[in-house]
Amino acid sequence: MGNNLKHISGDESKFAIITTIEKEYSGVWMVGELHYIINNNFLGKPELCSLRDAMYISESILSCSEARNNEYLYNMDDYEVFNLIKDGMYEGREDIYTYLEERVFPGNFDININVESMIDDVIFSVSKKNRESKVLYKYRDNFHVEVFDYGLVDSVVEDTHKFLSNFHEREVLLCK
């Protein structure tokens, strides 16, 4: 573990993403692990994945930031919202579209950097613009809701993205 590069984005007692790059055989694929910690709950499993994929997924999450602002969903029952989003994403159900603006999709609320180590986890965020964000997730089969200042989730994802992008850029230059 001594040769690995570990990066923590955010505050582990609130909301954080932890990336660990396996430096010995990483290269441009950036082999490593990625986990979330939400309110001291550790999400993910110890499994190697491509953090290069995580870099692109985090960029996509950031591009959906505005779409996660939805006062209707924010004010609804949290468990109902979680299931509406989940059913819209994974079951193809259309109930959620009653509450979405045109060109907003259930996947826009997904903030899970869905690489191999996070594949079994479901993490959504719904925001009340310029006020606060709710993070809805399951931890050990129990439903949880955490409320954070508006922008916290995006700042953690953005810091993770910058860290991964900088490492990737360096690895690409080394390959030339």
- The full set of domain ranges for the chain reads 5-175
CB 133 within 8 A of CB 68: yes
Cα distance between residue 27 and residue 168, in whole Å = 8
Question: CA 54: distance to chain centroid?
Answer: 9
* Cross-sheet strand order for the sheet of 132-139: 123-128, 132-139, 142-149
| Measured distance CA(57)–CA(83) in Å, rounded | 22
Between CA 112 and CA 119, with CA 4 as vertex, the angle to 5 degrees is: 20
Mean pLDDT over 4-20 rounds to 96
User: CA angle at residue 146 from 142 to 150, to 5 degrees?
Assistant: 150
In 3-state terms, the chain is what percent helix, strand and coil (to 5)? 45, 30, 25
Q: What is the mean pLDDT of residues 36-62?
A: 96
Q: SS3 for 132?
A: strand
pLDDT tier at 1, thresholds 50, 70, 90: very low
Which percentage of the chain shows pLDDT scores above 90?
Answer: 84
How confident is the model over 108-131, as a mean pLDDT?
95
Q: Check pLDDT > 90 for residue 174.
A: no
What per-residue confidence (pLDDT) applies to 101?
92
DSSP H or E run through 91: none
Note the pLDDT of residue 176.
Answer: 63
Give 27's pLDDT tier (boundaries 50, 70, 90): confident
Out of 24-28, 59-63, 102-106, 134-138, which region has the weakest mean confidence (pLDDT)? 24-28
- Asked if 162 contacts 9 with a C-beta cutoff of 8 angstroms, the reply is no
In angstroms, rounded to a whole number, what is the distance separating the alpha carbons of residues 31 and 115? 11
pLDDT at 2: 57
**What span, in angstroms and rounded, lies between the C-alpha atoms of 127 and 115?**
24
pTM (global) more than 0.75: yes
What distance lies between CA 76 and its chain's CA centroid? 22
Mean pLDDT rounded to a whole number for the chain: 93
- Least trusted range by pLDDT, from 1-10, 36-45, 73-82: 1-10
Average pLDDT estimate for 161-174: 87
Choose the weakest-confidence range: 12-26, 89-103, 108-122, 144-158: 12-26
Q: Judge whether residue 159 has pLDDT over 80.
A: yes
The structure tokens listed for 18 are 């932890």
Residue 122 has pLDDT above 80, yes or no: yes
